[in-house]
Amino acid sequence: MTAQTAPQSATGQSQHGQNQNAKNQTEPEIDAATAARKYWMSILARTDCNTLATHWQGNYADVAWQTLRAPQIGMVMVRGRAGGAGQRFNLGEMTVTRCSVTLADGTIGHAYVKGRDRTQAEYAALFDAVMLRDGAAQSFIDDLAQKQAVVKRDHARKIAATKVDFFTLVRGEDE
């Protein structure tokens, strides 16, 4: 099943995978299917509503589905750690929209996305369901991931241009 493709192969989130800080590794092991789902959900959460809607209408317009939980706007309290690694504290909230849908065969898709776009959350839940059902949107996800990676890389190159190159002047008294 294409949905089982390991997320490391794609570029979009690879950074979060490699850059593990040894300190915070208390997370339980997750299976490959869950890892794949986490990955596509993270890509969908970063994709704007129009892109999702266009692709859905063009490819899945005939898919039958029902709303399980209508899109709802709420908040997540974002937590930080003192010193980056110490005691937890509540930093402040962020807006989040969630939605759940059911396909005709009973597959349930969920979405939690940053911001207040109900339609984006609904499409993200639909794509989650389609991916769970048969991984049909894998190439779409890979495509999105690649685009996100390119944007990120281009930006990171602009940031890299502001890196300081120190050079030391040789002074007479040191010979």
Partner 1 sequence: MYVAVKGGERAINNAHRLLAEKRRGNTETPEIETDQIEQQLSLSVARVMSEGSLFDRDLAALAIKQARGDLIEAIFLIRAYRTTLPRFAFSKPIETGKMDIERRISATFKDLPGGQILGPTFDYTHRLLDFTLMANGQTPPEAAQGDQPVDDTMPRVLDDLLNYEGLIQDEPASADNDDAPVADLTREPVSFPAGRDLRLQNLARGDEGFILSMGYSTQRGYANSHAFVGEIRYGKVAVEIEPEELGFAIDIGDIDITECETVNKFKGSKIKPPQFTRGYGLVFGQSERKAISMALVDRAMRAREMGEQIMGPAQDEEFIMEHSDNVQATGFVEHIKLPHYVDFQGELELVRRMRKEIEARAQSTPETKAAE
Cβ of residue 23: shortest distance to partner 1, in angstroms? 6
Q: Which of residues 75-104 bind partner 1 (CB under 8 A)?
A: 75-96, 98, 100
Closest CA relative to residue 11, chosen from 155, 143, 160: 143
Tell me whether residue 47 is exposed, middle or buried, using C-beta atoms within 10 angstroms of its C-beta: 0 to 12, 13 to 18, 19 or more. buried
| Interaction between residue 159 and partner 1 (CB under 8 A) | yes
How crowded is the C-beta side of 125, counted as CA atoms within 13 Å?
Answer: 28
Cβ of residue 2: shortest distance to partner 1, in angstroms? 20
| Interaction between residue 116 and partner 1 (CB under 8 A) | yes
Return the C-alpha torsion angle 11, 14, 15, 19, nearest 10: -160
User: Binders of partner 1: how many residues, by CB under 8 A?
Assistant: 63
Enumerate binding residues for partner 1 (CB under 8 A): 13, 15-16, 18-19, 21, 23-24, 26-27, 30, 34, 38, 41-42, 45-46, 72-96, 98, 100, 110, 112-116, 152-154, 156-164, 166
